[in-house]
Chains A and B, each alone.
Chain A
C-alpha cells in the first residue's frame, strides 16, 4: 500500500532524498495553472480536513475572497494537543519538506503571502527539526522572495513558525489566530468566519498539518487518483495514532475506511494479555466513546464513524481493556477540559467544573444514580451553547460515556436513591431575628 503522508523511504526528511523522489515538482506544476484550477483540483479530490471536523479542504479555500486589497494568510495548525493525538509530530520528524511544499501550494491557491505554522510549545525538538527544514528551503530558494527567480514567476510567500506555550484551546482556529496576534488564546465568536475576518482582520485559511501535507501528492497524481483511495466520501489515507491497551501502539498510515478491528488487532497487535476491549475512543478524547462489544464492522472514516455514533476527529484511537475503570477515565477527561476551558462562556467554564466535581464525588463513593442524570443534564446544557467547540468536546465524553456504559457507572454509585430531605432539627429551630434587639 502506498503511503502518501509518511512514505516509507529512508531519510525522506533529508532534502536531497526528498528532491530525488520528486520533491518540489508539484510546486512547479502548480505554477503552470491558475489558483482557481488548484482549488478546483483539491475540491474534486475530496480531501477533507484532518484536524477534527473533516471539512472539505477545497471548499474551505474557495471561501477566500478573490478581490480584496487586504493581505491574506494561511495558518497551519500543528497545535496537536488533543489527548490521544500524536500524528503531526511524525510529519515534522519524517516529512517536513512535503509539509513546506504543501504550504507553498496552498498559499498560491488562496493568494496568501505569509503562512504561519503553529506548533505546540512542548514540541521543542520538533520545532527545531521543522525550523531546520524551513531554513534549508529558504537557503535553496524554494520559498521566500527569491522563489520568484527559482520558479520564474511573479509569486512568493513566506513560512514562519509560531511556537505555542501550552494551551489546548489554541488548537481551535480562532483562538490560534489570537495567539499568533500576541493575545490570550480566546476563541472568537463566529461569524465572521476566518475567510472573511481572520488574522489581523484579514482573510485567513486554517488547515491541519496533515491536510496540508496531502496537497503535493494530490497535485502530483491528480484528483482522480486521490479520490479513489479509501472510503469514497472521505478519501485518502489517514494517520491513525493508536494508544492505550494495545501491544504495538504508534502512528500508522492507512486508507480511510479500514476496519477499526483490523487496526486494533492486525496493525496494533491486539490487546495485551488477550483481554477483551471494554471501550474505544476513535478520534481523540473529545469524540464519543464506543462500546467494546459494538466494534464489529465499524470503519475508520467520517461517515462510518458518524453512523456508529462517534466521529473521526484527529484519528487518535484510544483502546481500553476490560479491566479499565471508566469512571477514572471519565474523571481524568473531565479534569482536562475543566483545566483547558478558557473561561469565556459560562456553560463551559462552570459546567466543566461541575462535571469534574460530580465525578469526583462519585469516585469518592458518595455518588448516587441521580448524579449520573445530573451529569448528563449538565453536559446537555453545555453542548451547543458556547462560543467554540471545546464546550461540545467536554460534553460529549460525559454524555456518551455514561449513556453507553450506564451499567458500569451504576456500579460506582449507591443503588438506593438518596433524596435530600431538609434537616428537620434545623428547620424547626427558631432563627434569631437581627432586628430582635431593637424591639426589646
Chain B
C-alpha cells in the first residue's frame, strides 16, 4: 500500500468530516480529495479512504462505482467533456463531438497514448441556454462552434 494523503488533505478531510454526524457521509468529499491528489481512484486509494474515515472499504467501492465523476482509471491531463443532450444536440453538439473525436483520435472514455487528453460524451451539464458547450476538467466553455472548440483544444498545452 503506497497511497497516503498529504497532511494538507488530511486536514481537509477532517473539515469535511465535521459537516456530518457520521464519518460515512464524508466519503464523497474524501473521494474527491483523493482523486485530486492521485488522479484516479485505485484499489489502494479506496483502502486508504476507508482507513482514514474508519469505514468499510466496500462502502467506498460502492460509492465510487455509482457516480460518474469518480474515475477508477487514469484520465488525460485534459479531460474533455462534450454535452450531447437535447438542447446541445439541437445546436449542433454532435458535429462538435464527431469533430473532437476525429481531432483527438479518441472515442468516448478513451485516453490518448501520451495521457494528454481523454474524451467523454456527457449528459446535460446545466448550460443548455449557452449550447453547444464543452467542459475541460472543471471549466465550462459555452456558445461554441467547431472552430472555437478546435481553438480551445489547440490552446491546451
- Which residues of A are at the interface with B, using a C-beta cutoff of 8 A? 71, 80-86, 88-89, 120-125, 160, 162-168, 179-185, 200, 241-245, 249-251, 281, 285, 316, 318, 320, 324, 328-329, 332-333, 336, 339-340
| Contact A83–B86 (Cβ < 8 Å) | yes
| Cα distance A251–B87 in the bound complex, in angstroms | 14
Q: Given B32, B86, B125, B140, which contacts A318 in the complex, CB threshold below 8 Å?
A: B86
| Cα distance A328–B89 in the bound complex, in angstroms | 9
Q: Within 8 Å CB of A320, what residues of B?
A: 90
| Cα distance A99–B28 in the bound complex, in angstroms | 24
| Contact B129–A125 (Cβ < 8 Å) | no
| Contact A182–B27 (Cβ < 8 Å) | yes
Interface assignment of B124: CB less than 8 Å from any CB of chain A: yes
| Contact B129–A181 (Cβ < 8 Å) | no
A–B Cβ pairs within 8 angstroms, 19 of them? A83-B123, A83-B128, A84-B124, A85-B126, A125-B138, A164-B28, A167-B68, A182-B24, A183-B59, A200-B21, A241-B128, A244-B86, A244-B91, A249-B129, A249-B130, A250-B129, A285-B86, A332-B85, A339-B123
Q: Within 8 Å CB of B126, what residues of A?
A: 80-81, 85-86, 88-89, 120, 122-123
Closest A residue to B131 using CB positions = A243
Closest A residue to B127 using CB positions = A86
| Cα distance A163–B31 in the bound complex, in angstroms | 11
| Contact B68–A179 (Cβ < 8 Å) | no
Q: Within 8 Å CB of B70, what residues of A?
A: 165
Interface assignment of B19: CB less than 8 Å from any CB of chain A: yes
Q: Given B22, B125, B140, which contacts A200 in the complex, CB threshold below 8 Å?
A: B22
The interface centre, meaning the residue of B59, B130, B138 with most chain A CB atoms within 10 A of its CB, is B138
| Cα distance A251–B27 in the bound complex, in angstroms | 34
Minimum distance in angstroms from B36 CB to a CB of chain A: 11
Q: Within 8 Å CB of A120, what residues of B?
A: 126
Known: A165-B67, A318-B86. A81 touches B59 (CB 8 A): no
| Cα distance A282–B68 in the bound complex, in angstroms | 28
| Contact A324–B90 (Cβ < 8 Å) | yes
| Cα distance A336–B124 in the bound complex, in angstroms | 9
As a 0/1 sequence over residues 63 to 84 of chain B, the CB contacts with chain A under 8 angstroms (1 = contact) are: 1001111100000000000001
- Which residues of B are at the interface with A, using a C-beta cutoff of 8 A? 19-22, 24-29, 31-32, 55, 59, 62-63, 66-70, 84-87, 89-91, 122-131, 135, 138-140
| Cα distance A245–B68 in the bound complex, in angstroms | 29
Which 4 A-B pairs have CB atoms at the shortest separation, nearest pair first?
A165-B67, A166-B69, A166-B68, A182-B24
| Cα distance A328–B84 in the bound complex, in angstroms | 12
Number of A-B contacts (CB under 8 A): 139
| Cα distance A2–B68 in the bound complex, in angstroms | 40
Q: Within 8 Å CB of B129, what residues of A?
A: 86, 241-243, 249-251
Q: Given A80, A165, A336, which contacts B69 in the complex, CB threshold below 8 Å?
A: A165
Q: Given A122, A123, A167, A332, which contacts B84 in the complex, CB threshold below 8 Å?
A: A332
| Contact B85–A83 (Cβ < 8 Å) | yes
| Contact A163–B32 (Cβ < 8 Å) | yes
| Contact B62–A183 (Cβ < 8 Å) | yes
Q: Within 8 Å CB of A336, what residues of B?
A: 85, 123-124
| Contact A125–B67 (Cβ < 8 Å) | no
Closest B residue to A336 using CB positions = B123
Q: Within 8 Å CB of A89, what residues of B?
A: 126
| Cα distance A160–B84 in the bound complex, in angstroms | 32
| Cα distance A280–B112 in the bound complex, in angstroms | 39
Known: A165-B70, A168-B123, A318-B86. A182 touches B28 (CB 8 A): yes
Having A165-B68, A182-B28, A182-B59, one finds 12 other A-B pairs with CB under 8 Å, namely: A85-B124, A85-B128, A86-B130, A88-B126, A121-B67, A122-B126, A124-B138, A165-B32, A166-B69, A168-B123, A180-B25, A184-B66
| Cα distance A237–B22 in the bound complex, in angstroms | 39
Q: Within 8 Å CB of B139, what residues of A?
A: 124-125
Q: Within 8 Å CB of B22, what residues of A?
A: 181-182, 200
Closest B residue to A186 using CB positions = B66
The interface centre, meaning the residue of A86, A122, A167, A242 with most chain B CB atoms within 10 A of its CB, is A122
Q: Within 8 Å CB of A316, what residues of B?
A: 128
Q: Within 8 Å CB of A181, what residues of B?
A: 22, 24-25
Minimum distance in angstroms from B31 CB to a CB of chain A: 8
Q: Given B28, B67, B124, B135, which contacts A82 in the complex, CB threshold below 8 Å?
A: B124
| Contact B90–A318 (Cβ < 8 Å) | yes
Minimum distance in angstroms from B113 CB to a CB of chain A: 26
| Cα distance A328–B88 in the bound complex, in angstroms | 13
| Cα distance A168–B125 in the bound complex, in angstroms | 10
Minimum distance in angstroms from A52 CB to a CB of chain B: 15
Closest B residue to A268 using CB positions = B129
| Cα distance A164–B129 in the bound complex, in angstroms | 22
